[in-house]
Chains A and B, each alone.
Chain A
Amino acid sequence: MIKIKNLHANVEGTEILKGINLTVNRGEVHAIMGPNGSGKSTLANVLAGHSAYEVTEGEIIFDGKNIIEMEPDERAREGLFLAFQYPIEIPGVSNSIFLRTALDEIRKHKGEPELTPKEFLSLLKEKAQILGMDTSLINRALNQGFSGGEKKRNEILQLLMLNPKLAILDETDSGLDIDALRIVSEGVNAYKSKDNAVIVVTHYQRLLDYIVPDFVHVLYKGRIVKSGTKDLALELEERGYDWIIKEQPETV
Chain B
Amino acid sequence: MDDQEFRSFYENTKADGYRLAYSYLHNESEAEDVLHDAFLRFYHHQPRDQEKARTYLFSIIVRLSLDRLRSQRKRAVQHKEEKEPASKNDYQFLYEAIDELGAKDSSIIRLHYFAGLSLQEVAKAAGLSLNAVKKRLERARKALKEKL
Same complex: no
Q: Which residues of B contact A (CB under 8 A)?
A: none
Binding site for B on A (CB under 8 A): none
